[in-house]
Structure 1
């Protein structure tokens, strides 16, 4: 009997025991993984967006600290530079002050030289007049201001108001005429004073030692009054040679004297006038006096006419 070949017996592996919680796979998954996957996904997402792993509050504090450090560094560097440049600035300032002082001294020296030259020219002119004209030339030089003069006269002092204003509202006549400060003496005021003294009989007039002539000009430059381009400062002392009492009375009763009195009443400008027994006025600088002489032809016609 032919028998079929026998095959080795097949060993079956023992079956894996079934988990008791196999029917609760959802709960098992939650318990095994908990929330770790969610945190991992969030961290990966922040990393892909370029965000750090630090909390926002911590990042803000670190940023603030960095900004404060940078600001402190800037302030420190600025203070250091200022400390270094301070001596340089002080040196430049002192050099500028020294230069101003030198230029001021040079200008004063030049002005003194000009004054000496004017006095020399005036002396030479007076000597030439005496040599050519005698007493008539002396009278001409006296009236023209070319020589110094003294004698009885008046002394008139005009000064700004005690509390001179620095501006006006445009409601007074002085301001509408171009005066922005109603408490200050202006060039037009001094023009009227001088013209009033001439009209009242003054033979010679000076302001603050500056002799006035027929060619003199009283002008304004800002708040300063110029007499022949020389600035004067208040109080303005006006000396006039003449009959003291008559000159004083005539001036105060004139229109210009009443104008000065109105300035005193309305704007507080201070004035004082007095008769003096002797006032001294200097000669005007660089006055050229010329006298007319008849020509030979005119002199001949005159002689024929008289004969």
Structure 2
């Protein structure tokens, strides 16, 4: 008769503990954390891909915008250059016409009969109106943009440019010093002349001028007399503070062209009408 072997119940419990040492709740929690980590990694990868796509699109838009701006600037530069060429051509044509008008006036003066008292008086009026050529001794005031910054420029190069008010000051100073005729870069100053700025350009008689600006006047002892005017002191102050170039030179012989005048209200009186 054989004797059966009995199994201790505690051994089964020990085996169960050995097989599943971790509590089921801990295992469930570990699986959840692992799942969340995997999902986070996937979301991170997707986010990086999305961010890369957004950056790439942004860069494409920026590059396209820069390219279009460059194209627009190129078109604007071309238009500006074309306008400059047209203005230069127009000014050149106007100067040629003015030279032709002056040549014809000189021919008319040479063909005119000898002067009579009335004509002599007319000649004096013509000189006062800047309608005739002026010659004689005088002085020139040369104004140039600043080559270096002055004490008050504060790094702004625009403060070193000659302004229309500077040229007006030079002209007024020459008149105050006793000048009988004044011209700026060959543009005769009359009662109808305008000295003004248009952007960075300075217009005299509606002609654009550039540095250096030569303001010439006819008169005796004009250089020394101009140096004593308040206008000359103002220009010297601008030269000291903003670096403008101001030169006052004496000239033994100057020739100033006549102004191109257009009669607005007056009319030419014929000799027969003048005798009546």
TM range (shorter): 0.5 to 0.7
- 1:38 corresponds to which of 19, 24, 35: 24
Kept in 1, the 8 Å contact 2:153–2:242? The answer is no
Q: How is 1:98-137 mapped onto 2 (pairs within 5 angstroms)?
A: 98-119=78-99, 134-137=119-122
Kept in 2, the 8 Å contact 1:121–1:286? The answer is no
Provide structure 2 residue ranges, at least 5 long, that are not aligned to the other structure: none
Q: How is 1:1-307 mapped onto 2 (pairs within 5 angstroms)?
A: 19-22=6-9, 24=10, 27=13, 30-31=16-17, 34=20, 38=24, 42=28, 46=32, 54=35, 56=37, 58-72=38-52, 97-119=77-99, 134-164=119-149, 181=159, 183-221=160-198, 224-243=201-220, 246-264=221-239, 268-288=243-263, 290=266
Shift, 1:284, TM fit: 1.7
Kept in 1, the 8 Å contact 2:195–2:205? The answer is yes
Change beyond 3 A, Cα 1:76–1:286: same
RMSD: 4.9
Shift, 1:238, TM fit: 1.3
Change beyond 3 A, Cα 1:91–1:186: closer
Change beyond 3 A, Cα 1:218–1:77: closer
Kept in 2, the 8 Å contact 1:145–1:212? The answer is yes
Shift, 1:42, TM fit: 2.0
Which whole-Å CA distance do the structure 2 matches of 1:191 and 1:205 have between them? 11
Q: TM-score, normalised by structure 2?
A: 0.65
Paired residue total: 263
For the pair shown, the structure with the greater C-alpha radius of gyration is: 1
Change beyond 3 A, Cα 1:263–1:251: same
Aligned-partner SS, 2:196: strand
